[in-house]
Amino acid sequence: MRHAALLLLTLGAAAGAQDTAFTHADSLRGGYGPARSWWDVEFYDLRVAVSPADSSIRGSNGITYRVLRAPAAPRELQIDLQTPLEVDSMVQDGRRVTYRRDGNAFFATAGGRPRAGERRTITVYYHGKPRVARRPPWDGGFAWQRDSVGNAWVATANQGLGASVWWPNKDSQADEPDSQRVAITVPDPMVNVSNGRLRSVTHNADNTTTWEWFVTNPINNYDVAVNAGAYEHYAGVFRGEQGPLTLDYWPLAYHREAAEQQWRQVPAMLACFEHWFGPYPWYRDGYKLVEAPHLGMEHQSAVGYGNRFQNGYLGRDLSQSGFGLLFDFIIVHESAHEWFGNNITTKDVADMWVHESFANYSEALYTECRFGPAAGAQYAVGVRRNVRNDRPIIGTYGVSAEGSGDMYYKGGSMLHTIRQLVRDDEKWRAALRGLNATFRHQTVTGAQVQQYLSAQTGVDLTKVFAQYLTTTKIPALEYRAESGGVAYRWADVVPGFDMPVRASVGGGPLQWLRPTAAWQTASVPSGAPATLRVDENFYVLARDLAAPAKAAGSIP
């Protein structure tokens, strides 16, 4: 998630917001200032009691951190928790810690003089009625719902909005704990499913039960989730690249049969993605699919599923190729994020294209796994109809500002185009696997991913990334008849753009051209028309300058 078709409705408003100046609050949330950078989170010990009766929560988070370097005065830790939630107290080394509030950020005074290498724990106690999700997963928060037979059904979804909408943490993608406890207390007989593995189930005297989950890997804060309802559980095993991987399925009880049918797609999905991306990143935490009262979300090792047990994206094919109706979009897209987004996480949301471009592209790869390379290509080309070219894909750094929703379809089209440039599918696959091995369980910058792909494929992709990620222009291959041939050049491109392209000249077989912004000429056999047709696997336009009225291109 979290874009796809339905979000188009809200993008207009989001685009408008981008035009305004960023606020002090945006800098606190999206930056990595002095109150964040001196300490590194090692462990979150999150314990929250959830009360559907009055839509409130109460709990604590013990934040264990390592001091990276002695902080300068005033030696503060920025801990984020969004209004209207209230901090009750903060405690470190058995002593209450003073703090000041600045909107959604709390600045706690670190006691004593923290020394580099020290490990400390500050525990934040809090309570309140968290923001109610308006249209999860896109406009998220806490969803207090009932299933169709009237049982309470509660879930969180907070990508973009931030995990601090319901629990106190360093709300930046740049810092992940090495492990995390998620102990959620819910009224009986609700079952809570969170990330990682279930360690204990404790029945309390007040007719509540504490479900203690534990994640033994680094995890994005936005992936930590509550899913509480009338769940049933069944299990399976996937024999993967690193041995047996546990599969745990948590549908609502009355959806168990539907789940057992629809969720059979999971092993084929895992086999495909292990082939292309390398081993599933969380063998120790397992793979889970959890029914959710929203469309879906890549909650790590507990993927949220709300696609109504049908293929496509809510029954639709976003590629209009036909292939999108042959698999369950949410199982495929959200699970792909286990590699791109969860295994490899971007430090700044301005680089969210690393999550969503690869997740979109993974839908085409899955189509290829199941139905062959031609089908995969049709899917990859088909999703281009959804590109808007409204704003650049890379957002604004340091202010919690994502770029255009084009990070999905255009980003995926860019990757499909790059695969053509690599001209060697095994090398391309090795690069995708290498990305996941090299940056395993890490946070990265988008630039690191770009540089890695250039280095591993042996193709300098600098200008290609610059074109597709920082401009809204589609490269246009302009051409015109010239004596004995066809003249061609790139237009609407960044300086120095010289991406090779496969094209048919004069109706002949596909051949490689290496256009630049300067005119070159390709010869045409005598009698053949002075035409140029670009292989549709490249996300570019072909523009016949002799026919300016016709906005011709290779793109459907």
How many chain residues interact with Zn ion (CB under 5 A)?
3
**Which residue, 224 or 359, has its beta carbon nearer to Zn ion?**
359
**Which residue, 29 or 355, has its beta carbon nearer to Zn ion?**
355
Binding mask 327-356 for Zn ion (x = CB under 5 A): -----------------------------x
**Which residue, 175 or 223, has its beta carbon nearer to Zn ion?**
223
Amino acid at 164: S
**Which residue, 335 or 400, has its beta carbon nearer to Zn ion?**
335
Q: How far is 246 from 286, CA to CA, in rounded Å?
A: 5
- Please select the residue that binds Zn ion; options are 359, 432, 532, 542, rule is CB under 5 A: 359
**Which residue, 342 or 554, has its beta carbon nearer to Zn ion?**
342
Residue whose C-alpha is closest to residue 488's, from 498, 497, 478: 478
- Tell me the residue ranges of DSSP E strands in 76-171: 76-80, 86-92, 95-96, 99-102, 105-109, 119-128, 141-146, 152-157
φ and ψ at residue 270, rounded to 5 degrees: -65, -40
**Other residues' Cβ atoms within 10 Å of the Cβ of residue 9:** 10
Least separation in angstroms between residue 402's CB and Zn ion is 12
Close Cβ partners of 467 (under 8 Å, ≥ 6 residues apart): 473, 475, 493, 494, 497, 499
Judged by CB under 5 A, the stretch of 119-127, 357-365, 474-482, 491-499 that binds Zn ion is 357-365
Element (H or E) spanning 495, and its range?
Answer: none
Least separation in angstroms between residue 1's CB and Zn ion is 4
Q: How far is 375 from 365, CA to CA, in rounded Å?
A: 9
**Which residue, 60 or 413, has its beta carbon nearer to Zn ion?**
413
Least separation in angstroms between residue 468's CB and Zn ion is 18
Least separation in angstroms between residue 157's CB and Zn ion is 12
Residue whose C-alpha is closest to residue 112's, from 99, 125, 93: 93
Least separation in angstroms between residue 138's CB and Zn ion is 11
Least separation in angstroms between residue 340's CB and Zn ion is 9
Token pair for 425: 């599918």
**Which residue, 175 or 356, has its beta carbon nearer to Zn ion?**
356
**Which residue, 39 or 222, has its beta carbon nearer to Zn ion?**
222
Close Cβ partners of 180 (under 8 Å, ≥ 6 residues apart): 43, 44, 45, 46, 195, 196, 214, 215, 219, 224
Judged by CB under 5 A, the stretch of 1-9, 130-138, 218-226, 441-449 that binds Zn ion is 1-9
Using an 8 Å Cβ cutoff, are 103 and 25 in contact?
A: yes
Q: How far is 291 from 255, CA to CA, in rounded Å?
A: 9
Amino acid at 34: P
Least separation in angstroms between residue 2's CB and Zn ion is 6
Sites for Zn ion among residues 410-469 (CB under 5 A): none
Least separation in angstroms between residue 367's CB and Zn ion is 17
1 binds Zn ion (CB under 5 A): yes
**What residues line the site for Zn ion (CB under 5 A)?**
1, 356, 359
